[in-house]
Amino acid sequence: MTGHDFPDALKQLLDEFSRSGIRELHIRKSDFELYLSSDASAARPRAAMTVVAPVSASPTQPAATPKPIAAPIAPISSLPDDAVIINAPNLGTFYRAPKPGAANYVEVGSKVQAGDELCLIEVMKLFTAVRAGTSGTVHAVLVEDGAMVEGGQPLFALVRD
Amino acid sequence: MPIKRLFVANRGEIALRIVGAAQALNIETVVAVSDADRDSAAARLADRSIVLGPAAAAKSYLDPRLIVHAAKESGCDGLHPGYGFLSERAILPRLCAQHGIAFVGPEPDVIDALGDKLRARAMAGAAGVPLVPGSECVASAADARREGDRIGYPVLLKASAGGGGRGMVIANNGDEAEAGFHKASAEAVAAFGDGTLFMERFVPEARHVEVQLMGDGKGQVLHFGERDCSVQRRYQKLIEEAPCAAMPDHLRRQLHESAVALAASVNYRNAGTAEFLFDVQRQEFYFIEVNARIQVEHPVSEAITGFDLVQEQIRIAGGADLSVSQQDVKISGHAIECRINAEDAARDFLPSPGRITRWEPPQGPGIRLDSHMSAGAMIPPFYDSMVGKLIVHGSDRADAIARLADAIDNFVVEGVPTTLPLHRAIIAHPDFIENRIHTRWLEQVLLPDYGKKAA
Amino acid sequence: MIAEKDPVIAAIDDARALLDTLLTSGWLQLHVASGETEIFLARDGGGTNPMRMIAAAPLIAAPAAQAGPETAVPVPHVATLEQALAAGTQVVAGQTVATVRVLDEQEDIAAPVSGTIVRVDAVPGVLLEYGATLLSIAAVA
């Protein structure tokens, strides 16, 4: 695959796939294999190249991980207007407890003070504690324990007291 | 019996390194991968790859039963654990032994003994290896002063039940030792319910030096010189050199002899590293620990000795004798390695997984790159952030630094931030060039300014 | 000098043309195989991707006739299949349908859905990689 045509052709195909709304598209050509699916639960085939849609077609998109990013458990729109959303500071795995088997930092209904730890985000062995920016009550936990989250993804909804 | 088919129970650059070494010995390879590493460079190069489990290391690379099952059922008669993951967990060689697989590493009992800091320290003491001067338990403030006077200041008062810095006090003189005793003891009671303290000499500006060892398990132990790994951030090595240019020859000989004596005392088999603290002011070295595996920084020792340590590991695990004797190990020139991590120095070294879009490494005499990366390669977020090691070999330290500077300047990486610019800044610093560094130098001297410039 | 079109780009261009065809035709799926090139496209509700079935289960001689939506039961980690219930067996969700082994430890695999086992995909005694299909269950309609 030489020259600049390949990324262009691929980008056009990805754009068209995203717009089409179809379920899957699969190309195999000698050693080259491309599988596109809008079904995030589809298991990956053994493939030279796998893209799980929806994706940005930009080849510089960071952190397009093989594992689909977790979908929120509850839609953000269903939260109360005064809810404070706590977002992930960076991409990583979301852990609700300080270590395996330990109690979760918080549950729905827990009262928290500003600065209290809510969860850990782990990326490449670096654990970052996510803290409450305000005191209040945990209204919703928006991601499943152990899921991969993106930077800026909503994790918790708090309601101020 | 020589190994015929080797199972590689690791990932990243070291998996690729092991596959390459095995192929040079005409040994077949099977690489274990997680779901995230299906298309890794090592998996492509090996004769076969086997997907152990999902991306999470706990369900793939850290499950010894899955690893040994895959090794056994794929007909492997040898297993290389690499570094990290399960490499120093005795369960892995024990399972291998139960299933007739030769483990490329020490005996499990030796791994257990060396993994226990107190036992390792006792073993080192018994082998005549210098330990950090210290005390038994100190019972009173007066005891603390007497012991402090004997050990030499500054001293560290430590809780024997301790950890995590609690119950730890530094004392610079006798008065501080007495006051420190009360403070540390109270802290230790509060934190651990046990106020027992002991003391040891505190070396504020120490170098980290280590000796590369290789034993055949039949009583023969060789060393392959020492390395200096004093450029560290939060106890993680960033730059490693060989030899330690700051150490005079007579001390270097003692260091090698100590390390070999310790390994020989346990009839050490395969590769290992004895780590020491080097107190430059006092011109003394003290034992820290033994790492019972191949280390990340082994290439600098290979560069100055011209010897392939990983191939030797595989041969020894297959029952061979050491292929050289000590007088054949000749040190030549100076080597430096820098660890290229996908981390953003401007964001407090936040690991930055993602896709490498450009990867154009430098080439030339004396340049070696150990990496599993290429343009288009994905750095998954599940494992450590190291994407490669750049190693240069020069006629002396100054020559090696100049080559490394050139090599970094000609290294194009795009897509994710890496620590290459930091390495470039480190090796341009007068303290590094004049070799005035110690284990806290990077954090105390370079990084505070570097952070400002990056911001 | 004639610039030969890159075969991969040609394949991508083919796929784009087929995508147009699919969208304008109202078909649910499209499968083209010609020489070294194979392309499959499907809308929601389209059939199973035959290219992926081959990739996931190289041991099957021929796919059985499709009765209804099939659920593949994957092995949860690398393991060796000890035994599985035979094709044609009716099972309920949660029932043990297969036993796999890691070293000398056995592990039961439960049916994720109720239905009929249409095929045992894995061969007993052969090492299975993570995600490999043990057997397939046609859900109760």
pLDDT of residue C50: 65
Is B384 in contact with A61 (Cβ distance < 8 A)? no
pLDDT of residue A54: 30
Looking at per-residue pLDDT, the higher value among B321 and A2 belongs to B321
Residue tagged 């977020």 (tokens): B381
Nearest to B65 among C76, C103, C131 (CB): C103
Q: Which residues of A touch C19 (CB under 8 A)?
A: 13, 16-17, 20, 22, 25
Q: What is the amino acid identity at position A1?
A: M
Ranges of residues in chain C with a pLDDT under 50 are: 1-3, 53-66
| Residues in chain B, overall count | 455
CA nearest to B268, candidates B35, B58, B93, B109: B109
Q: Which residues of A touch C45 (CB under 8 A)?
A: 23
Q: Is B355 on the interface with A (CB under 8 A)?
A: yes
Is B65 in contact with C78 (Cβ distance < 8 A)? no
Is A65 in contact with B355 (Cβ distance < 8 A)? no
pLDDT of residue B218: 92
Is C130 in contact with B35 (Cβ distance < 8 A)? yes
Looking at per-residue pLDDT, the higher value among A98 and B104 belongs to B104
C-alpha–C-alpha distance, residues B225 and A111, integer Å: 58
Closest-CA residue of chain B to C127: B73
Q: Is B73 on the interface with C (CB under 8 A)?
A: yes
**pLDDT tens per residue, range A62-121:** 333 344 566 556 556 667 778 899 999 999 999 999 988 899 999 999 999 999 999 999
Using DSSP's 3-state secondary structure scheme, residue A122 falls into strand
pLDDT of residue A86: 94
Q: How far apart are the first and last CA of chain C?
A: 61
pLDDT of residue B117: 81
CA nearest to B109, candidates B267, B237, B227: B267
Is B353 in contact with A124 (Cβ distance < 8 A)? yes
The bridge status of strand A111-112 relative to strand A136-141 is antiparallel
Which of B113-117, B136-140, C30-34, C90-94 holds the top average pLDDT? C90-94
pLDDT of residue B164: 61
Q: Is B158 on the interface with C (CB under 8 A)?
A: no
- Helix crossing, B91-98 with B64-73: angle to 10°? 30
C-alpha–C-alpha distance, residues B207 and B276, integer Å: 8
Q: Which residues of A touch C70 (CB under 8 A)?
A: none
Q: Which residues of A touch C13 (CB under 8 A)?
A: 9
C-alpha–C-alpha distance, residues B333 and B76, integer Å: 39
Close Cβ partners of B159 (under 8 Å, ≥ 6 residues apart): B166, B167, B168, B184, B187, B188, B191, B192, B194, B195, B196, B197
C-alpha–C-alpha distance, residues C83 and A114, integer Å: 55
Q: Where are the alpha helices (DSSP H) in chain A?
A: 5-20
pLDDT of residue B453: 54
Q: Is C76 on the interface with B (CB under 8 A)?
A: yes
> pLDDT class for B116, splitting at 50, 70, 90?
confident
Is B72 in contact with C129 (Cβ distance < 8 A)? no
The strand pairing partners of B290, in sequence order, are B274
C-alpha–C-alpha distance, residues B276 and B289, integer Å: 7
* C-alpha dist (Å) from residue B282 to B153, B247, C10: 12, 12, 71
pLDDT of residue B451: 67
Closest-CA residue of chain C to A23: C43
Question: A interface mutation test: which of B60, B352, B359 has the most A CBs within 10 A?
Answer: B352
**Dihedral, B156, B158, B164, B170 alpha carbons, nearest 10:** -30
Is A23 in contact with C13 (Cβ distance < 8 A)? no
For A64-98, b where at least 16 C-beta lie within 10 A, e where not — what string?
Answer: bbbbebbeeeeeeeebeeebebbebbbbbbbbbee
Long-range contacts of B395-402 (CB under 8 A, 24+ apart): B395/B333, B395/B334, B396/B333, B396/B334, B397/B241, B397/B245, B397/B334, B397/B336, B397/B435, B398/B433, B399/B333, B399/B334, B400/B241, B400/B333, B400/B334, B400/B335, B400/B336, B400/B366, B401/B336, B401/B427, B401/B432, B401/B433
Is B355 in contact with A90 (Cβ distance < 8 A)? no
Q: Is C127 on the interface with B (CB under 8 A)?
A: yes
| Residues in chain A, overall count | 161
**pLDDT tens per residue, range B35-74:** 999 999 999 999 999 999 999 999 999 999 999 999 999 9
pLDDT of residue A27: 83
> pLDDT class for A44, splitting at 50, 70, 90?
very low
**Does residue A45 carry a pLDDT above 70?**
no
Average pLDDT over residues A18-40: 75
State the maximum Cα–Cα separation within chain B, in Å, rounded to a whole number.
67
> pLDDT class for A60, splitting at 50, 70, 90?
very low
The answer to whether the CB of B268 falls within 8 A of the CB of B260 is: no
* C-alpha dist (Å) from residue B136 to B158, B159, B171: 11, 12, 17
Average pLDDT over residues B184-199: 85
Q: What angle do CA A66, A69, A72 make, to 5 degrees?
A: 160
The bridge status of strand B350-351 relative to strand C70-74 is unpaired
For B168-184, b where at least 16 C-beta lie within 10 A, e where not — what string?
Answer: bbebeebebbbebbeeb
**Does residue B402 carry a pLDDT above 80?**
yes
pLDDT of residue C57: 32
Report all structural domains of chain C as residue ranges with CATH numbers, in order of start: 7-52 (no CATH), 67-140 (2.40.50.100)
C-alpha–C-alpha distance, residues B227 and B240, integer Å: 7
Within 123-142 of A, beta carbons closer than 8 Å to B belong to 123-126
The answer to whether the CB of A45 falls within 8 A of the CB of A125 is: no
pLDDT of residue B362: 97
Q: Is B65 on the interface with C (CB under 8 A)?
A: yes
pLDDT of residue B455: 44
Close Cβ partners of B377 (under 8 Å, ≥ 6 residues apart): B41, B355, B356, B359
Closest-CA residue of chain B to C130: B53
Residue tagged 């001297």 (tokens): B445
State the maximum Cα–Cα separation within chain A, in Å, rounded to a whole number.
62
> Residue A133 burial by CB count (10 A; 0-12/13-18/19+): exposed, middle or buried?
middle
Token pair recorded at residue B254: 């003692």
> pLDDT class for B395, splitting at 50, 70, 90?
very high
Q: Which residues of A touch C52 (CB under 8 A)?
A: 26, 35, 45
The strand pairing partners of C96, in sequence order, are C110
Is A123 in contact with B416 (Cβ distance < 8 A)? no
Q: Where are the alpha helices (DSSP H) in B213-308?
A: 249-265, 298-305
Within 93-122 of B, beta carbons closer than 8 Å to C belong to 95, 99
pLDDT of residue A50: 30
- Helix crossing, B174-192 with B141-151: angle to 10°? 120
pLDDT of residue A24: 82
From B11, B293, B315, B403, the catalytic residue: B293
C-alpha–C-alpha distance, residues C84 and B78, integer Å: 31
pLDDT of residue C52: 62
Cis peptide upstream of residue B351 (ω within 30 degrees of 0) = no
Is B351 in contact with A123 (Cβ distance < 8 A)? yes
| Residue B293 bears catalytic tag | yes
**Does residue B181 carry a pLDDT above 50?**
yes
pLDDT of residue A63: 35
Closest-CA residue of chain A to B347: A90
The answer to whether the CB of B54 falls within 8 A of the CB of B34 is: yes
